[in-house]
Amino acid sequence: MNMKKLLNNLKKRVKKGQSLVEYGLILALVSVVAIAVLNTMGTHIRDTIGTVNDELIEARNDASDNAKDTTTATLNNGGGGGGGTTP
C-alpha cells in the first residue's frame, strides 16, 4: 500500500513538473513575440514622433518669422505706441 502512494505521489510530481515546463515555454514564446512586436512598433512610433516634432519646430519658426515681420513693419510705419511721426 505504501508503494502505491509513493508511485502516485511521484506521478503527480512529474505531471506538475511538466506543467511548469509547459508554462515556461509558453511564457518564453509570448515574451519573444511581444519583444518583436514592440521593436517593430517602436520604430514606427519613433518615426511618427520625429515627424510631428519636425512639423512643430517648423511651425514655431514660421510663427517667429511672422512676428518679427509684423514688428518690423509696425516700427517702420511709425507705429508702436505713439511718439512716431506721420509721413
CA distance 24 to 44: 30
For residue 6, the one-letter residue type is: L
Summarised one tens digit per residue, pLDDT across range 31-59 is 999 999 999 898 889 999 999 999 999 99
- List pLDDT tens digits, range 1-39: 587 777 777 677 766 667 788 889 999 999 999 999 999
Cell of 12: 503527480
Which comes out higher in pLDDT, residue 63 or 68?
Answer: 63
In this prediction, residue 87 has a pLDDT band, given cuts at 50, 70 and 90, of low
Q: What pTM was computed for the model? A: 0.42
User: 26 and 20 in contact (C-beta within 8 Å)?
Assistant: no
The distance between the two most distant Cα atoms of the chain, rounded to a whole number of Å, is: 119
